[in-house]
Amino acid sequence: MDHAHIETRAVHAPVVEPSAGKPLVTPLYQNHLFAYTDADELSAVLSGPQDAFLYGRYGNPTSRSLEEAMAGLEGGAAALATSSGTSAINTVLMALLSTGDHVIAQRSIYGGTYVLLQDLAERWGITVTYVSGTDPEEIRSALGPRTRLLLLETIANPTTQVGDLPALIAAVRDAGVAVMVDNTFTPVTCRPLEHGADIVVHSATKFLGGHSDVLGGVAVFATRSLYQTVWKQAVVVGSTLDPHSAWLTLRGLATLPLRFARQSANALELARRLAGHPAVTAVHYPGLPGHPQHELATRLFHGGFGAIVCLELAGGREAGRAFIEAVRVAVLAVSLGDVKTLVMHPPSTSHKKLSPDELAAAGISEGLVRIAVGVEHPDDLWTDLEQALAKAG
Ligand SMILES: *Cc1c(COP(=O)(O)O)cnc(C)c1O
């Protein structure tokens, strides 16, 4: 290019790659095109996922690094990074389901997943049976000839119900049904693939990213063939994660075990203190011995019971609202998994449109507050919660 005109040289500026020395962390490949000199090589990359790249929607090296890291953490054969947690779930559903197929899903599934399933049911002819998520027999009797997928979550929101994954998964083992477990609430501490799941999904927006500055998702697969099927769908629907979000998520992963351990320890400490407070009528946290599935949670989760604590206030709806508006260290915001502690009162925010009866059916009392515990010092959090409880009292 040395003799080309200045416009041409400006466009074709040299791309410097290190001739020695490996980067210590994954570089941010903020580029969606890779150049080739051999047509056969280029066409091979179009045919399936591999460690070569040509166009961003098919994958990129930064996201691939995140995918390999997540496959390693979950003990899977391969993983797919997607533009959000919802997108991970949607891509799996679209890859595995056809019109007329049947899905069994836990009733207390994440709200966005429920909306997605209802949309598939109404517009694409998929049928869905909702089950409690605590009873293998109920799942077995829901099985039909077209059942393709069982959808579970490790800890239900906001009831904190824990399902017996090995037993629930065993209920469909011989039926040729794929099992997808949403592990967003228990990264690191629960590894659903070891309990027989075929697919694990995460909202990377939550604990994996950990700082509420990235929107992303990951699906991890027990087998490479399942991965390839879903990868093809991701290319078709365009659900690939962008490199910058992958890079931020990778940075988050480095401290995920540390953050999650601290968040779980903080959550347990706050749950214990809340349980002894006169303004609180109930605390839902799998780490408390009084939780209905405490024994099970001890078997399933290794190294902590998660960061989500739900409490019920004696003062009902008014108290719930007063509490979330009174916190000063914790922050009133949706979502979870952030380094900051976040509080929500579903009846006066996300579930405001539901009647008291509908709330009760969803297992949500009018005074229910969710705390997504962060990494702050537990004493500062407790001081904050105490003064908010006093205002809500
Ligand atoms: C947030 C969340 C999702 C959806 O993830 P997005 O990244 O917001 O699309 C799915 N499942 C659970 C359990 C979640 O908490």
CA of residue 110 to ligand 1 center, whole Å:
7
As a whole number of angstroms, the distance between CA 239 and CA 365 comes to 36
For residue 185, give the ligand 1 atom closest to its CA. Answer: 13
| Residue 106 CB less than 6 A away from ligand 1 | no
- CB of 110 closer than 6 A to ligand 1? yes
Ligand 1 mutation pick, 113, 203, 241, max ligand atoms within 8 A of CB: 203
Q: Is 85 in the pocket of ligand 1 (CB under 6 A)?
A: yes
Residue type, 336: L
Contacts of 325 (CB under 8 A, 6+ apart): 332
Does the pLDDT of residue 47 top 90, yes or no? Answer: no
| Ligand 1 proximity of 266 Cβ (cutoff 6 Å) | no
User: Confidence band (pLDDT; 50, 70, 90) for 362?
Assistant: confident
If one residue of 116, 205, 208 were mutated to test the ligand 1 pocket, choosing by the most ligand atoms within 8 A of its CB, it would be 205
Distance CA 250, CA 290 (A): 37
Q: Of the residues 93, 184, 241, 249, which should be mutated to test ligand 1's pocket, given the most ligand atoms within 8 Å of the CB?
A: 184
Query: pLDDT by residue (tens digit) across 12-26?
Result: 999 999 999 999 999
Nearest atom (ligand 1) to Cα of 335: 1
Q: Evaluate: CB of 158 within 6 angstroms of ligand 1.
A: no
Q: Which of 43-52, 122-131, 161-170, 295-304 is predicted with the least confidence, judged by mean pLDDT?
A: 43-52
Rounded CA-CA distance 54/46 in Å is 8
Atom of ligand 1 nearest to the CA of 337: 15
- Residues 200-211, mean pLDDT to the nearest whole number: 98
Among candidates 261, 254, 273, 272, which has minimal Cα distance to 305? Answer: 261
SS3 2: coil
Beta bridge partners of 131: 106
| Catalytic site includes residue 22 | no
Q: Is 182 in the pocket of ligand 1 (CB under 6 A)?
A: yes
Q: Rounded mean pLDDT of the chain?
A: 96
Show the tokens assigned to 159. 């009831």
pLDDT band at residue 45 using 50, 70 and 90 as cut-offs: confident
Calculate how far, in angstroms, residue 10's C-alpha sits from the geometric centre of ligand 1. Answer: 43
Which of the residues 29, 58, 101, 110 is marked catalytic?
110
Residue nearest to atom 11 of ligand 1 (CA): 110
Q: How far is the CA of 112 from the centre of ligand 1 (A)?
A: 7
Active-site choice (206, 251, 259, 370): 206
Q: From the candidates 57, 232, 272, 273, which is the catalytic residue?
A: 57
Active site residue 206: yes
Predicted pLDDT of residue 356: 85
Supply the pLDDT for residue 198. 98
Q: DSSP assignment, residue 248?
A: H
Of 29, 101, 164, 182, the active-site residue reads 182
- Taking a C-beta distance cutoff of 8 angstroms, is the pair 183, 193 a contact? no
Residue 132: what pLDDT? 94
Percent pLDDT > 90 in the chain is 91
Q: Is the pLDDT of residue 134 over 90?
A: yes
184 close to ligand 1 (CB < 6 Angstrom): yes
pLDDT, residue 49, reads 78
* DSSP-derived 3-state class of residue 166: helix
Query: How many residues appear in the chain?
Result: 393
- Mean predicted confidence (pLDDT) in 322-336: 97
Of all protein residues, the one whose alpha carbon is nearest to atom 8 of ligand 1 is 85
pLDDT for 100 beyond 80: yes
The pTM of this model reads 0.96
Q: For residue range 280-291, list pLDDT tens digits in order.
A: 999 999 999 999
At residue 139's C-alpha, the angle toward residues 111 and 230, to 5°, is 60
